[in-house]
Amino acid sequence: MKIGLDVGSTTIKCVVMDETGNILYRSYERHYSKITEKMTELLEKVRREFSLDETAKLTVSGSAGMGISQTCGLPFVQEVYATRIAVGKLIPDADVIIELGGEDAKILFLSGGLEVRMNGSCAGGTGAFIDQMATLLNVSLEEMDSLAARYEKIYTIASRCGVFAKSDVQPLLNQGARATDISASIFAAVANQTIAGLAQGRPIRGKVVYLGGPLTFLPQLRDSFDRALKVTGVCPENSLYYVAIGAAYCGAVETKLVEALESIRKYGSTGSFLSIPPLFRNAAEYEEFCQRHAQCKAPRGDIGKYSGDAFLGVDAGSTTVKAVLLGRDAEILDSIYKSNSGNPVPIIREYLLGIDQKYPSLRISKSAVTGYGEELLKNAFGIDYGIVETVAHFTAAKHFRPNVDFVIDIGGQDMKCFKIRNGAVDNIFLNEACSSGCGSFLQTFANTLGYEIPEFAKLGLFAEHPVDLGSRCTVFMNSQVKQAQKDGATTEDISAGLSVSVVKNAIYKVIRVPNAEELGRNIVVQGGTFLNDAVLRVFEKELGVEVTRPDISGLMGAYGAALYAMGKPAAQTTLIGPEELENFKHEVKVTNCGLCSNHCRLTINIFGGNRRFIGGNRCEKPVTKRNSKSELNMVAYKMDLLASYRKSEPGPRGKIGIPMGLNLYELLPFWHSFFTSLGFEVVVSPMSDRELYLNGQSTIPSDTVCFPAKLMHGHVQALIDEGIQNIFYPCMSYNFDEGISDNHYNCPVVAYYPEVIAANMSTLEGRNLIHDYVGIHRKRDFPVKMHAILQKSFPDITVREVKRAAKAAYGEYDRYMEQVRQRGDEMIAQAEREKLPIIILSGRPYHLDPEINHGIDKLIVSLGAAVITEDIVSRRVGKVHTDVLNQWTYHARLYAAAKYVCSRPDMNLVQLVSFGCGVDAITTDEVRRILEEGDKIYTQIKIDEITNLGAVKIRLRSLFAALEP
């Protein structure tokens, strides 16, 4: 007999075959981190069923099997090799294998030379990721697959990180998007992540084989891969067991099963895991801790005896919905704290109906709502006020601690921290990159280990040896926990260790403070996660300060909203009454907006037939049917101006294509004029959109390069699809010298990305990509050098023609820049006259692209401000002293703009940062330092294909709230 064991990150598979290769037995089940127990159980079952009292050819494989095999002296075969052996025997004509497991993803290229691509530092797009998304939707995996089969729309959802995906999915849920469309969108995101993240430029062609649990059990996931790859893949019989089958095929060494079972049973009790000091030394210390925090209580009232005006506050969070009802003396009359189940509307309807029916002498005179679902609930029920979350939480915090200088709120999937200075919100931190410091992090592990979260939290309070787990991705932390279990850690030790990880992630990854003292000394903690005494204890020990945790920690957003409503002047409430609540109906429609080039996917919620809420819009047009409040938008003006360069008459020398991205945004006037003068018809690639990005994603060789660079693959592919033979995309080390920096380099990605395009886009074969090194900053040398470059492709071009074209190009660029600056000056002057706040939206020229900036400019304008870009004001300052080497043209503009903002009371700066741009960290720190000199409020927004507009709105609305007198 040959036995193959595949011990994976979440499952264990077993195959028993005879000497001819016939499969006699197979087993697939989750091990829930109890790996040795499951292995022992399986082998005992096999031994009994096949009467294997002596020996068998046992071989182990899988990501969690290596340590066991080495310690126990069992034969081991690497899982990729095992897969290759099995496919080679069973599907010899396969070209590519795509395998998704619990925490790992693999693509094996078989034809044209064996090559393996595996996920590294991120488990996004794997089975564990899909599990998280199903949990978020509150459905089983089978239900999720069934829902996806009935989809109508595909939304853009990130899958490279579970947190980013939740940040995309949660607003869709709160806006009323259909679960069918979200399910299909999640599968599409997984397919795109696997292709872009693992294929990395190598085309997936031929016979594609799908293996692994997710691709076996989820037909709609396979369909998503088929659509993305434009193939019809094969999911073979026994697709779950190919690693185990390959391991069995490799079996060559006889193993004594009884001895192997004994070795496996003993494995894992080494007691060698890293540990940290206990959270509490004894019960007395814990009792003192509890008594101290029990003193911070909100006043309570008896709702049964109350009559008259009451004030409602609602917090529609990422995973829960909370409501608080206050009496006239700010006493809590009633409250709820419930899972939102993806839609807070029916929960609030039921709550309001219950209040009306049970307490007829009580009247809700004013109401306010905050959180992700703020706009949805405000429109659904006519709630009087919608307030930004930071204002709600600050209002609640200062009610308990008037001198509060730092507030931290940790919820299920999000974290909000903000510093208070002079009674106003001064700086805001949101978890835009990781949820390993949030409540869902603990929830995931509690469920995995078979506990409810309250019970699991208590286990760690008196753990003798809390495990030092470090701070990692939620999914990969599973591996740390498993290893600790193998080494003898108890569940109590793991519970305590996870609480430590939550706090350290919050302080050092989200807030990113160099030392704890910077947070302040008067700290209020909020959010359901801080109801966990272990988390609170670790937080106090890490900061070395006693903090305030109100007894309504999980209700603080709703409590602050109720206090906010109570503080507003008396007025007739707009909250709907009992009759309308009884007949309340909620319909959802999905459509595409056609009022501008963004073509936003809109989710239209209709309430009671006459009220509605539109979600998914990047501007106000779908709501108002007109432009935003202010037309002072420099981003929109530049885009309109650049649109005029998209038109070109046919020329005697034919067509030349220019991909519209990176530095070619600002330099389009230069190159358009240059080639038009030479007799070319200039064809500019179309505006960026999701389809354009996906069309080029299979050729992207790096998953970590910034999104604007990734888009260039789509732009070049669009020109190829249009039949353009000659494409111009030059390498440019230098930009124009604007006299405001130590040097005038382009960043390395901008400067040399044409080399990446040339090396990785096989579709360029047979076409002419002109990607030579060009120096437009050397005006005298440029014509001669450019003539030499062009002559290789167009021998008839003369130096004289190039000189004439260069003169026209430099002149057109100067005219374009002067036009932009003049209009910018006019906008600033108009904003001054109208006394509008001015936001300097600082980034790179290519951040004009709506697919990159997600309509942030329109969002700011809709809040009543003028949007001016950094290049308009940077020239008003000149060269700025910086603490860093100031050698990048675009960064120099940021520094100069920040310096200028410090001199203007009506201006504040919002910086746009692209993920994957290595020099952005330096820029951000220096911009922050410059602005602090001028005591200016600073907001940074990270933009990428996965930007969550809900988080952006929180930042921007908090900024405007802080600017109010």
Question: Taking 80 as the threshold, does the pLDDT of residue 965 lie above it?
Answer: no
Q: Do 528 and 422 fall into the same domain?
A: yes
Among the candidates 784, 817, 850, a domain finishes at 817
Structure confidence at residue 245 (pLDDT) = 92
Among the candidates 790, 817, 844, a domain finishes at 817
Q: Which residue has the higher pLDDT, 484 or 667?
A: 667
Return d(Cα 481, Cα 32) in angstroms, integer: 11
Q: Kindly state the tokens that stand for 180.
A: 């069918």
Q: Do 131 and 19 fall into the same domain?
A: no
Which of 663-667, 909-913, 940-944 has the weakest average pLDDT?
A: 940-944
Could you give the number of structural domains in the chain?
6
Q: Do 798 and 853 fall into the same domain?
A: no
Contacts of 558 (CB under 8 A, 6+ apart): 313, 314, 315, 322, 323, 324, 335, 370, 392
Q: Do 254 and 384 fall into the same domain?
A: no
Q: Do 319 and 390 fall into the same domain?
A: yes
Q: Do 386 and 439 fall into the same domain?
A: no
Average model confidence (pLDDT) across the chain:
84
* 924 CB-contact burial (10 Å; exposed 0-12 / middle 13-18 / buried 19+): middle
Q: Kindly state the tokens that stand for 332.
A: 């809590």
Structure confidence at residue 418 (pLDDT) = 83
In a domain, 629, yes or no: no
Q: Do 854 and 921 fall into the same domain?
A: yes
Q: Which domain holds residue 841?
A: 821-963
Question: Taking 80 as the threshold, does the pLDDT of residue 122 lie above it?
Answer: no
Structure confidence at residue 273 (pLDDT) = 66
Structure confidence at residue 520 (pLDDT) = 76
Q: Kindly state the tokens that stand for 437.
A: 């410091």
Structure confidence at residue 515 (pLDDT) = 66
* Res. 438 pLDDT band, cuts 50 70 90: low
* Res. 628 pLDDT band, cuts 50 70 90: very low
Kindly report, residue by residue over 703-733, the tens digit of the pLDDT.
Answer: 778 889 999 999 999 999 999 999 999 999 9
In a domain, 759, yes or no: yes
Q: Do 33 and 172 fall into the same domain?
A: no
Between vectors from CA 450 to CA 444 and to CA 451, what angle results, nearest 5°? 80
Q: Do 74 and 24 fall into the same domain?
A: yes
Helix/strand/coil (H/E/C) assignment for every residue in 869-924 = EHHHHHCCCCCCCCCCCCCEHHHHHHHHHHHHHCCCCCEEEEEEEECCCCCHHHHH
In a domain, 299, yes or no: no
| Mean per-residue pLDDT, 567-580 | 87
Q: Which residue has the higher pLDDT, 482 or 21?
A: 21
Structure confidence at residue 472 (pLDDT) = 57
Strands 938-943 and 208-211, how do they pair?
unpaired
CATH label of the domain that carries residue 183 = 3.30.420.40
Question: Taking 90 as the threshold, does the pLDDT of residue 262 lie above it?
Answer: no
Structure confidence at residue 372 (pLDDT) = 77
In a domain, 290, yes or no: no
Cβ-contact 406, 400 below 8 angstroms = no
Q: Do 666 and 805 fall into the same domain?
A: yes
Structure confidence at residue 854 (pLDDT) = 82
| Mean per-residue pLDDT, 224-252 | 89
* 738 CB-contact burial (10 Å; exposed 0-12 / middle 13-18 / buried 19+): middle
> Each residue of 329-356: b (16+ CB within 10 Å) or e?
ebebbbbbbeebebbbbebbbebbeebb
Q: Is 378 left (phi over 0), alpha (psi -120 to 50) or beta?
A: alpha
Among the candidates 795, 817, 839, a domain finishes at 817
In a domain, 623, yes or no: no
Return d(Cα 152, Cα 158) in angstroms, integer: 19
Cα-based torsion angle of the residue sequence 207, 212, 218, 220 in order, rounded to the nearest 10 degrees: -30
Question: Taking 90 as the threshold, does the pLDDT of residue 469 lie above it?
Answer: no
- Comparing CA positions, the residue from 373, 370, 321 lying closest to residue 348 is 321
Q: Do 397 and 411 fall into the same domain?
A: no
| Mean per-residue pLDDT, 588-593 | 73
Structure confidence at residue 272 (pLDDT) = 59
Which of 14-28, 323-337, 928-942 has the weakest average pLDDT?
A: 928-942
Kindly report, residue by residue over 47-77, the tens digit of the pLDDT.
Answer: 888 877 677 888 889 877 777 777 777 889 9
Question: Taking 70 as the threshold, does the pLDDT of residue 162 lie above it?
Answer: no
C-alpha 671: how far from chain center: 36
Question: Taking 90 as the threshold, does the pLDDT of residue 559 lie above it?
Answer: yes
Return d(Cα 460, Cα 533) in angstroms, integer: 9
Q: Kindly state the tokens that stand for 629.
A: 């409040």
In a domain, 466, yes or no: yes
Structure confidence at residue 491 (pLDDT) = 81
Question: Taking 70 as the threshold, does the pLDDT of residue 124 lie above it?
Answer: no
In a domain, 677, yes or no: yes
Q: Do 735 and 839 fall into the same domain?
A: no
> Which phi and psi (to 5°) does residue 377 adopt?
-70, -35
In a domain, 189, yes or no: yes
